Amino acid sequence: MKFSKALPWLPSLLILAGCPSQPPEPNPPGPRLDKISVTCTPTSLVAGQDAQCTASATDQEGAPISVEAYTWTSGDETLARVDASGKVTTAAAFSGNVAIRASARSGDSLIQGENSLAITPKSPTIHSRDVITAETWRAADNPHLVTFDLTVFMSGSLTLEPGVVVRFAAEAGLRLFDGTLLAEGTPEAPILLEGQDRVTPGSWNGLLLATTESVARLDHVTVSHCGAPTGEGGCLVINEQAAPVLRDVSVRDSGAVGVLVADDGSIFGPGSARLSVSGSKGPAIVIGANQADSLPPLGTLSGNASNAVELRGHVSRTLTWPNPGVPFVIPQPMKINGDKSLATLTISAGSVLRFGAKSLLYVGSKGFLGALVVDGTAQNPVLFTADSDQPKPGHWSGVNVMNKASNPGRISHATIEYAGEKPDSVQYPFAGPGNLTIFGDLFGVPEGANTFVMNDVVVQKSSHSGIFLTNGGSLGMGSSRLTSRDNGTYPITLEADAVPTIPQDTVFTGNGTNVVEINNGDVTRTQTWSRLSVPYLITNPDMLVGVAAPFPAATLTIAPGTTILFAPGTALWVGFGDTRGSLSAKGTSAEPIRFVADSEPAPRGHWRGLHFWYAEGSQLDYVVVANGGNASGVSSSYGILGEGALNVYREIGPFVTHSSFSQAKGCAVTVSKGDRQNTTPVTTDFFSPASNNSAGNNGSDTQCTN
């Protein structure tokens, strides 16, 4: 009984012993930053007035909470600025609504509050008369309003304080004639010249800086929304030999050209730098070619109709165009012509020159001396190209180097492309159909005067020839590493005497006809034609090797393995008439020299063959002559020509060995019987066993007498 009485409380003890302990109740959260409120006094003010803003903070329960410091910012600093204490300074020239914000960080969150200020316009300071004395326009009087074309005359000077805002009514402007304009802002307080409506491009005439006697310095100045049709053609215009100094100047939203520097001797003054142009409906910058060396280091060019420097006029003095970092655009033909002395234009490394339709660069002409120096580098080559987003061959008329001084210039590390269009034949009668055309003694310049040194140059995508050399024009000694590719006709067209100036390392590829065309001239100087990677093509109907007495005979030497193609009706003459010449064409069994037709298959007599007159010293060894001998209807002052592949009119001995003759219209070899003027009987048997010559498939596989 005693035991049973203890049972009722025993289970309770067991239950209590088996239960875990309960967690303690969490502490309530502490206050945290939840909201910032901003109050400004006053909230409505006139532009130029100040306001004081304060901030207060509350926690998640809406109770005030302390913040160590607030960060103050303005939604539009052109309207109002706020300092670290919440003091707001408004710009006297601008009006509108602006948000003033205070922010602080709570943990990883940034909490921000704001208030809006309504800024009403301030009455402008109106300027309605010209400046004829010394005037200073102050920022405290912003905004300034000009209601007409205000002029600063000789006796006047106008100073704009840092931070000045000048607005211009429709068709108003600011013009400087022989006076002084000092607009020297700072990065913190720039000067602003703008249209009254601040929206419409070309709403006012613009800023005109004129005459050599004027003094103008602009620092940290923005000129915007000018370039009206009633103005001078640009937003900021420099003319009449003015030379203003512009530093950190921006031109925005012109209705015409951004910055226009007239081709009258006007320049950017020494020390100019960081000129930026954006949003112009015309080119960003236009300047005379003769003054382009004054172009300052540029800032940003963006959003203009042409983000480029357009060059107008001609070059008549020695100067260097700097690389502005944007293209030069040359819309019209341009000459480099010195009047009384040599004018040399140097183009800096990395420059890009874009040429308008039928434009060209014309270096020297008649009595005017000009030279071109292109100083590209491997890292920064120079590009001459078409001013087109989708250029086509023949867009412009190329670089034309005319008669010049003894050292006309050079081109290094450059590409010339998309030219080849023949220009106006009246104004530019001698310009050639190539990307690059080089003339020689067209107007009596001494022999060798027009050599033009080229290294690491690419000529491509011409509608005609890549390089065109004529009238004694040639490539200068030391030229190397040329590439002529993808041109419409020939990679190089030149005269006979210029052939030795072609660098042996020239690359020819992808051209309409991948040969070197010899279209004119005779071999009048002793020379060697190297074996190139492509054949030579004779299109000159009667190419002569020879020179008249008293000069020594001209000898043409042709390297082993060379192929010379002949167009229909052409011929090679050696020592004809009163000239004396010789041909040394000594191939090898592995690398014969070939004189053949320019097409395959070709008929007998496709061309007129080889003709030897006063040709003592000539030697042909391991030579192939094919498809020559067409003399139908052709005669010389010495009578009817032979129809052989080889035609010999004077005895010069057994000068042909190990050679073959085929596909001639007449005999393989024709020799003279000596009954005509300036001929002698030719008795050499060119098919004697000792000569080891052969013939096949000619009109007659023999030696005939004519």
Does residue 2 fall inside a structural domain?
A: no
Does residue 211 fall inside a structural domain?
A: yes
pLDDT exceeds cutoff 80 at 366: no
pLDDT exceeds cutoff 60 at 270: yes
* Model pLDDT, residue 639: 59
pLDDT in tens, 652-705: 999 999 999 999 999 999 999 998 888 999 999 999 999 999 999 999 999 999
508-526 burial code (b ≥16 CB/10 A, e <16):
beebbbbbbbbbbbbbbeb
pLDDT exceeds cutoff 80 at 486: yes
| Number of folded domains that form the chain | 4
pLDDT exceeds cutoff 50 at 405: no
Q: Which residue has the higher pLDDT, 74 or 446?
A: 74
pLDDT in tens, 53-83: 999 999 988 899 988 889 999 999 888 999 9
6, containing H or E segment: helix 2-6
Does residue 22 fall inside a structural domain?
A: no
- The answer on 51 and 114 residing in a single domain is yes
Tell me the two tokens of residue 415: 């590409």
**Where does the pLDDT of residue 254 fall: very low under 50, low under 70, confident under 90, or very high at 90 and above?**
very high
Tell me the two tokens of residue 283: 């080119």
Residue ending a domain, choose from 312, 331, 349: 312
CA distance 5 to 61: 58
- The answer on 178 and 70 residing in a single domain is no
Highest mean pLDDT among 417-431, 439-453, 577-591: 577-591
**Where does the pLDDT of residue 641 fall: very low under 50, low under 70, confident under 90, or very high at 90 and above?**
confident
Residue ending a domain, choose from 514, 549, 578: 514
CA distance 91 to 80: 6
pLDDT exceeds cutoff 60 at 7: no
pLDDT exceeds cutoff 70 at 13: no
- The answer on 428 and 301 residing in a single domain is no
- The answer on 695 and 552 residing in a single domain is yes
Mean pLDDT of 238-257: 97
Q: Measure CA 338 to chain center.
A: 23
Pairing, β 234-239 against β 96-106: unpaired
Pairing, β 44-46 against β 109-120: parallel
- The answer on 539 and 618 residing in a single domain is yes
- The answer on 670 and 630 residing in a single domain is yes
Does residue 18 fall inside a structural domain?
A: no
**Where does the pLDDT of residue 446 fall: very low under 50, low under 70, confident under 90, or very high at 90 and above?**
very low
- The answer on 188 and 100 residing in a single domain is no
* Model pLDDT, residue 635: 57
- The answer on 623 and 526 residing in a single domain is yes
**Where does the pLDDT of residue 447 fall: very low under 50, low under 70, confident under 90, or very high at 90 and above?**
very low
pLDDT in tens, 101-150: 999 988 777 899 999 999 988 889 999 999 999 999 999 999 999 999 99
Does residue 15 fall inside a structural domain?
A: no
pLDDT exceeds cutoff 70 at 410: yes
- The answer on 331 and 303 residing in a single domain is no
**Where does the pLDDT of residue 27 fall: very low under 50, low under 70, confident under 90, or very high at 90 and above?**
low
CA distance 94 to 76: 11
Please report, for the domain that includes residue 93, its CATH number.
Answer: 2.60.40.1080
Tell me the two tokens of residue 508: 């020819």
Q: Which region among 272-281, 330-339, 457-466, 626-635 has the lowest average model confidence (pLDDT)?
A: 626-635
Does residue 11 fall inside a structural domain?
A: no
pLDDT exceeds cutoff 80 at 640: no
455, containing H or E segment: strand 451-460
Q: What is the DSSP string of 403-437?
A: S--SS-EEEEEEEEES------TTTSTT--SEEEE
Mean pLDDT of 317-340: 93
Q: Which residue has the higher pLDDT, 48 or 275?
A: 275
Q: What percent of the chain has pLDDT over 90?
A: 76
- The answer on 392 and 287 residing in a single domain is no
- The answer on 325 and 267 residing in a single domain is no
Does residue 133 fall inside a structural domain?
A: yes
Mean pLDDT of 389-413: 84
Q: What is the DSSP string of 131-197?
A: B-SEEEE-GGGPSEEE-SEEEE-TT-EEEE-TT-EEEE-TT-EEEEESSEEEEE--SSS-EEEEETT
pLDDT exceeds cutoff 80 at 555: yes
For residue 397, give every residue at least 6 positions away whose Cβ sits within 8 Å of its Cβ, in sequence order, or none. 333, 355, 358, 359, 360, 419, 420, 421, 422, 423, 428, 431
For residue 692, give every residue at least 6 positions away whose Cβ sits within 8 Å of its Cβ, in sequence order, or none. 657, 658
Does residue 7 fall inside a structural domain?
A: no
Could you list the residue range(s) of the whole structural domain that residue 573 is in?
522-706
- The answer on 265 and 131 residing in a single domain is yes
pLDDT exceeds cutoff 90 at 389: yes
Reading phi first (left if > 0) and then psi (alpha if -120 to 50, else beta), residue 48 is in left
Reduced to 3 states (helix: H, G, I; strand: E, B; else coil), residue 634 is coil
